[in-house]
Chain A
């Protein structure tokens, strides 16, 4: 099985490539395609990245291939890291909708090329933001079950970690999902949290203690208030900003910690790549696992009594042919309200660049 990484020389793309090789996700007989842009600096850097990976990992590296034209993308799994990212500096705008105008064209170009010349069975993992827009644009060209955005999985892993930290356990002992829109508009599904070793009553007590409030209503306002406290610190006292984040409830840390990490200049490339590799590994391995991801829904989820049609982050079953099923039980009212709001905001933000998503 071959993997193509679009935007291979960006921060996340480079990490994805490195981890794919270093973690030996791809056997030496497989091909890792490093894809850059013909008209940008990546046209040169992508050749250098290939040489660097060979230099570092010659004993275990897969076949390394360089491509600069969307029409030359050939792989079983395509990881989309291409496009612009939000500036990684203190106080920079975190408005993901501002990325949409530029990145929509990138998503469309690769989607059109894969639709025209691809195998018809590639699975596409969208990393670039706005991830929901990437999923919408690619799904309408390739078919919705072959396209998964990894933002909800990254948010889920962060959520599990924050819950685990509060409980004093390791992350792998915590289950639970984050749905909705990647970033500030995410929806922590507290009702899905599970902790190995705790029975239902113990878990409910633990979750109640962690939440500090019992509802997601007003979550956006709480995020905004916390961000307002953080912003003055980010530029002049980053250590204090990180210390302040540590005092916040876990559901707020899930939103604000990554944002702070990005604005610190360190960015979030390692964590983003690691979560992406989870999904790539699952697809290549032929397993089916339950993850969270942004996908184009066609009524699989009911929000406000109506089947929802549009892109949304949800728990789902991911396998070698893409995603197959959504696994979302009936939600408490507050979670469903926030999820419905998130879904509506995604649809509104994506509308200028999308057509109808095919079944």
Chain B
């Protein structure tokens, strides 16, 4: 009996929500893609992931001081599938280079902007690996994993919105 059938036999309603199928050895990765800053680059990149059923956890694109620009993609995959994606992305004509890191690699940095309610007066926890700044919107910078923890804590503390970006490695 398949999972859907088992659910029905338990009398649980099928709400139509399907969780992504994740293997036990899936981990998070961040791919830094040096690519032409032109029409179609992100579409081509997205095609590589979409045709292999891999969802973007996050995607950001930006210009660099000199061409080409950067596209940063975070995703979950097994090490084998990550390698397939890396090699496939690397073969795109618009792509000049790909570097993939595990998301928990301290070399992967992130920046988050927290929009707090006025007068909250948030300060960084003692010993935090992240740097905090800002007098209105709060800017948090540090290793991705640490920044994500800070954002999660801020959400629990009532922060209304937070924006997290993984910049390319030399930014």
Contacts and interface: CB of A to CB of B under 8 A. Distances in A.
Interface string B25-54: 000000000000000000110011011000
Nearest to A72: B91
Nearest to B47: A29
A105 interface: no
A31 B43 CA distance: 13
Nearest to B88: A74
A63 B44 contact: yes
Contact of B93 (A63, A72, A117): A63
Interface string A119-145: 111000000000000000000000000
A355 to B, nearest CB: 25
Contact of B84 (A29, A30, A119): A119
B110 to A, nearest CB: 29
Contacts of A2: 88, 91
Contacts of A72: 91
Contacts of B44: 29, 63
Contacts of B87: 74, 117, 119
Contacts of B83: 119
Interface string A63-76: 11101000010100
B71 to A, nearest CB: 16
Interface string B51-88: 10000000000000000000000000000110110011
Contacts of B80: 119-120
A1 interface: yes
Interface in A1-51: 1-2, 29-31, 33
B91 A30 contact: no
A67 B93 CA distance: 11
A30 B47 contact: yes
B117 interface: no
Contacts of B91: 2, 31, 33, 65, 67, 72, 74
A48 to B, nearest CB: 16
Nearest to A64: B93
Contacts of A119: 80-81, 83-84, 87
Contacts of B51: 1, 29-30
Looking at A1, A2, A121, which has the most chain B CB atoms within 10 Å of its CB? Answer: A2
Contacts of B90: 74
Contacts of B129: none
A72 B91 CA distance: 8
* Interface of B (DSSP majority class): helix
Nearest to B90: A74
A31 B45 CA distance: 11
Contacts of A33: 91
A357 to B, nearest CB: 23
Looking at A31, A67, A117, which has the most chain B CB atoms within 10 Å of its CB? Answer: A31
B92 interface: yes
B32 to A, nearest CB: 19
Interface in A47-95: 63-65, 67, 72, 74
A65 B48 CA distance: 14
A1 B48 CA distance: 8
A74 B52 CA distance: 14
Contacts of A30: 47, 51
A64 B84 CA distance: 18
A1 to B, nearest CB: 6
Nearest to A50: B93
B92 A31 contact: yes
A2 to B, nearest CB: 6
Interface in B86-111: 87-88, 90-93
B166 to A, nearest CB: 25
A165 B87 CA distance: 47
Contacts of B48: 31
Interface of A: 1-2, 29-31, 33, 63-65, 67, 72, 74, 117, 119-121
Interface of B: 43-44, 47-48, 50-51, 80-81, 83-84, 87-88, 90-93
Given A31-B48, A117-B87, 5 more contacts: A1-B51, A29-B44, A29-B47, A64-B93, A119-B83
The 6 closest A-B CB pairs, nearest first, are A29-B47, A119-B84, A74-B87, A65-B91, A74-B91, A74-B88
10 contacts: A1-B51, A29-B47, A29-B51, A31-B91, A31-B92, A63-B44, A63-B92, A65-B91, A72-B91, A74-B87
